[in-house]
Chains A and B, each alone.
Chain A
């Protein structure tokens, strides 16, 4: 059963937490987390050059590191970002959040995306608990897919 109480309480929590989080993010540029040597993020699906339907699931693999939700400061972990039709930004800045940069902030390892027909590029970039890429960045090669 859905507990209305829980939803209401969650909403309340967010109201209180948001202004604090915003000011904190502005206050400092966090130091970048080191990435273990050999860490690698890659696509299970799709692979470079594949033709896919308009709605498909991107499955993400990660070698040599673990996944943790955003906000969880834990060594050798990060959370996935899927970059669609865009270049990665400066590696010392938090990854922007818009519809070219899909954040998987709850530790998801797959995401369903819907893209218009045509050619698109996809790239994976791991971010630490502050959404900042690791040092060196853990990033997949950029792949091109054809949405049919």
Chain B
């Protein structure tokens, strides 16, 4: 199951080495002080609990503040989840690998996947340099157990002729160790996990593994990558050498369809791309012109309407208010991770996610970082939708988009007489 893990772990350590070397000279291992009253714990997860193979773990910190990694702040830090491992040295940056999961974006919850059996979980808070505080702020180490053998699940039907395939990637291709893999689907719709829809599903990328059992949930581990938000591409890091890749569609419960919708298994030859670690950081979104690369967004980010709500009656001139969860707002043109600016789509279809959002009366750009907009509409029924986009006005990957709501514009607004 974890065949890939040791190789990737080595890769991670190799990359972390220069960092450790540099920090020694800059006395960066100084530990940030923490108040003695700070407490870190799991929310709703007790020691010796039975948990499903895929679970959401929530973290609670009191007495300190969660700030994204890289922002030095007094009494601030970000979470690290230690899985099946002892505490790392407390005067060093916490390692970054599959046993030490960093939440550098300031996340306070995470969906993790565990293999059947017993596992230990522990939280450790660390400062902007990933070094634990002094005294260390950590939770107690708890043991959880995942029961063996997931139950068999009914399979969803797939249209005959539905297929998935790799885009621009042939059997025997040579790819760099950091490569963007694109998935295509034909005859079947890509829908997020958890949303039951006829003839819909989401991608799974099988790396260096045989097909799993087709009558049950596709495992979730480093060899079976889930794209539950309906992503159609992934940035893959593989150690140099020969690897196999295969796509397999899963339905809303991650079970393959009947008949299964999968690509042939292809072999790829991975060569080291020779990029130093620093060169990997510039965001691909700076490439202008044709084929704009999309900026990555956190999986748990969401944009939504604070006002109005779906079905509301509103005044002809109303202030539309936007909410954004787990990301920040930045004016257009500002490239900063985990930020974007709002677009209000009025009476229009969802635009393509691969191109800049058009700018016209139906696509209102809030490029100044606005979080509300005074909109005047003629009487009648209208649809509104929010779509976040990066500094180039291109939606993120996965797209941060609200549901499309319908509002009824009437002169009396919410007080207009209701036709019921």
Closest to A114 in B: B62
- The answer to whether A66 and B93 have CB atoms under 8 Å apart is no
Q: Once bound together, how far apart are the Cα atoms of A68 and B329, in whole Å?
A: 6
CB distance from B332 to the nearest CB of A (A): 10
CB distance from A40 to the nearest CB of B (A): 10
Chain A contact residues, majority secondary structure: mixed
Q: Once bound together, how far apart are the Cα atoms of A114 and B66, in whole Å?
A: 11
- The answer to whether A3 and B235 have CB atoms under 8 Å apart is yes
Choose one: B178, B327, B331; the contact of A68 (CB below 8 Å).
B331
Q: Does A102 contact B (CB under 8 A)?
A: yes
29 A–B contacts, CB within 8 A, in A order? A1-B235, A2-B96, A3-B237, A4-B16, A6-B281, A7-B69, A7-B104, A9-B280, A15-B23, A19-B26, A55-B60, A61-B371, A62-B372, A63-B372, A66-B368, A66-B371, A67-B328, A69-B339, A97-B74, A102-B65, A105-B67, A105-B71, A106-B339, A107-B330, A107-B369, A108-B324, A108-B328, A109-B329, A110-B323
Q: Once bound together, how far apart are the Cα atoms of A98 and B75, in whole Å?
A: 6
Contacts of A12 in B (CB 8 A): 18-19, 22, 277-278
Q: Does A130 contact B (CB under 8 A)?
A: no
CB distance from A134 to the nearest CB of B (A): 14
- The answer to whether B372 and A69 have CB atoms under 8 Å apart is no
Q: Does B11 contact A (CB under 8 A)?
A: yes
- The answer to whether B97 and A4 have CB atoms under 8 Å apart is yes
Contacts of B87 in A (CB 8 A): none
CB distance from A98 to the nearest CB of B (A): 6
Given contacts A62-B371, A109-B329, contact A15 B129 (CB under 8 A): yes
Interface string of A108-134 (1 = CB under 8 A from B): 111010101000000000000000000
- The answer to whether B75 and A99 have CB atoms under 8 Å apart is yes
Choose one: B12, B67, B106, B329; the contact of A4 (CB below 8 Å).
B12
Q: Once bound together, how far apart are the Cα atoms of A74 and B75, in whole Å?
A: 28
Contacts of A8 in B (CB 8 A): 15-16, 18-19, 96, 277
**Chain B 59-80 interface residues, beta-carbon cutoff 8 Å to A:** 60-65, 67-76
Q: Does A11 contact B (CB under 8 A)?
A: yes
Q: Does B306 contact A (CB under 8 A)?
A: yes
Q: Does A10 contact B (CB under 8 A)?
A: yes
Give the one of A4, A6, A7, A15 with max B CB within 10 A. A4
CB distance from B160 to the nearest CB of A (A): 33
Give the one of A6, A63, A77, A103 with max B CB within 10 A. A6
Choose one: A9, A44, A77, A106; the contact of B278 (CB below 8 Å).
A9
CB distance from A3 to the nearest CB of B (A): 6
Q: Does B225 contact A (CB under 8 A)?
A: yes
CB distance from B257 to the nearest CB of A (A): 25
Contacts of A116 in B (CB 8 A): 62
Q: Once bound together, how far apart are the Cα atoms of A99 and B18, in whole Å?
A: 34
Given contacts A8-B96, A14-B70, contact A110 B12 (CB under 8 A): no
Q: Once bound together, how far apart are the Cα atoms of A74 and B366, in whole Å?
A: 14
Given contacts A11-B70, A99-B64, contact A110 B324 (CB under 8 A): yes
CB distance from A126 to the nearest CB of B (A): 12
- The answer to whether A106 and B19 have CB atoms under 8 Å apart is no
Q: Does B361 contact A (CB under 8 A)?
A: no
Interface string of B367-387 (1 = CB under 8 A from A): 011111000000000000000
Contacts of A66 in B (CB 8 A): 329, 331, 366, 368-371
Contacts of A6 in B (CB 8 A): 277, 280-281
Closest to A1 in B: B237
Choose one: B26, B64, B323; the contact of A109 (CB below 8 Å).
B323
Choose one: B28, B277, B329; the contact of A15 (CB below 8 Å).
B28
**Chain A 51-68 interface residues, beta-carbon cutoff 8 Å to B:** 55, 59-63, 65-68
Q: Does B285 contact A (CB under 8 A)?
A: no
**Chain A 71-102 interface residues, beta-carbon cutoff 8 Å to B:** 72, 74, 76-77, 97-99, 102
Besides A18-B72, A18-B128, 11 other A-B contacts (C-beta < 8 A): A6-B281, A7-B96, A12-B278, A13-B70, A61-B321, A66-B329, A67-B369, A77-B369, A97-B76, A106-B328, A107-B328
Q: Does A5 contact B (CB under 8 A)?
A: yes
